Amino acid sequence: MPLVFQDILAPERARSPMMKIAIYSDNTLSLPTEPLCDLLNRFCVLLRFTAGRVPVHLNTTFISKPSTFHKLPDLLKADARGYEIAIIATSIPYDNNFFFEAVGNTVILSFSGWNLLTDLPITNGLVYFLASMLCQRFTIGENHEKNIGCVNDFLWDKKGVDTAMRAAYLCRDCRDSSGEGDAPKRDIQAMLDLVSHASRAGADLLSTPTPSRQSSEGSYDVFLCHNSGDKPIIRKINVELKVRKARMCHSSGTASECSDHTEVTYFSSRNDVGRPTTRVHAPTRSANRSSE
């Protein structure tokens, strides 16, 4: 996936205290954009989401940049100009097999062949790709050519999106990058929390209880979750983290959360409301991100 947000925003918009984002769905998809925007607005501070009101019909077999963007209806173009980012979700494929590209402030996000890539809902994928786009927009980290499980992975193999949504995290290097301050990172992390929480349960994030916000008294720095075969390495990790005085919650795995996974998962780096914000996965992952 190329960098799509390098030069699309005027400086005065980039400095705006709140970024307005519109989400449209064309006639090939039936997406609950209003409930989705309501959910995102509950968890985000810097970002404000609105369901696009203008009907969208892309009269094409394949999306091509820039020609498909230039042929968008004038009414849609006019409506999209009221937002810093306007995202159009569709099931029509790109001619280069990308997930998304942008012209100006308009992004067309393709879910073509989604059923061949994952059994997770498109709503989860939309929020995941939103987080990926925003990392580019706010220059939080950079694309990883090699898959490491980060939301900035390039996903050369599109099937990697399934694992990516279940992980949905920012690696340490990307998280520690300067970008444009901590506020965008907090919103992006909140979005990733929603995606991973639902995706690990194999559920739609709109129908899954949202991640709980723990009190500081009951909060933890690390949550270790594993299946029985990973006990030896988990014990070593457990000892090392205790040496570092991490507050931990430990689970040997339950049928609902861990029995279907072979990776070790731990959460660390609490944010200001005590939610776990970093996810690290081991031992192996499939190749990730959209291919040309």
| pLDDT tens for each residue of 115-161 | 999 999 999 999 999 999 999 999 898 888 877 778 998 888 898 89
More confident residue, 39 or 273: 39
pTM passes above 0.75 = no
Res 220 pLDDT > 80? no
Cβ atoms of 282 and 151 within 8 Å: the answer is no
- 13: its two tokens: 């918009």
Average pLDDT over residues 74-101: 97
What share of the chain in percent tops pLDDT 70? Answer: 70
The pLDDT-based confidence of 230 (bands split at 50, 70, 90) is confident
Please check the confidence at residue 229 and state whether its pLDDT lies above 70.
yes
Residue 208 or residue 257, greater confidence: 208
98, β-bridge pairs: none
Distance CA 175, CA 151 (A): 11
Other Cβ atoms less than 10 A from the Cβ of 102: the count is 24
Angstrom CA distances, 72 to 55, 95, 110, 156, 234, stand at 11, 17, 15, 28, 53
- pLDDT of 8 over the 50 cut: no
Q: Which residue has the tokens 């049928």?
A: 255
Instruction: Classify residue 213: in a domain, yes or no.
Output: no
Query: Is residue 198 in some structural domain?
Result: no
Q: Is residue 41 part of a domain?
A: yes
Instruction: Indicate whether 286 belongs to any domain.
Output: no
Q: Which residue has the tokens 């769905």?
A: 25
CA-CA distance, 114 to 136, in Å (whole number)? Answer: 23
Structure confidence at residue 236 (pLDDT): 79
Note the pLDDT of residue 244.
62
Residue 131 tokens read as 């987080």
Predicted confidence (pLDDT) per residue in 237-271, tens digit? 877 776 665 655 555 444 333 333 333 344 333 33
Q: pLDDT for 14-53, tens place per residue?
A: 445 689 999 999 999 999 999 999 999 999 999 999 999 9
Mean pLDDT of the 160-180 span: 86
- How many domains are contained in the chain? 1
**Which of 272 and 167 is assigned the larger pLDDT?**
167
- Three-state secondary structure of the chain: CCCCCCCCCCHHHHCCCCEEEEEEECCCCCCCHHHHHHHHHHHCCCEEEEECCCCCCCCCCCECCCHHHHCCCHHHHHHHCCCCEEEEEECCCECCCCCEEEECCEEEEECCCHHHHCCCCHHHHHHHHHHHHHHHHCCCCCCECCCCCECCECECCHHHHHHHHHHCECCHHHHHCCCCCHHHHHHHHHHHHHHHHHHHCCCCCCCCCCCCCCCCCCCCCEEEECCHHHHHHHHHHHHHHHHCCCCEEEECCCCCCCCCCCCEEEEECCCCCCCCCEEEEECCCCCCECCC
On whether residue 217 sits in a domain, the answer given is no
Residue 138 lies in a domain: yes
Domain boundaries, position 87: 11-176
Quick check: is 1 in a domain? no
Q: Where residue 26 sits, what CATH number does that domain have?
A: 3.40.390.10
Contact 197, 205 (CB under 8 A): yes
Q: Are 94 and 63 in contact (CB under 8 A)?
A: yes
**pLDDT: which is higher, 44 or 226:** 44
Assess if residue 189 is contained within a domain.
no
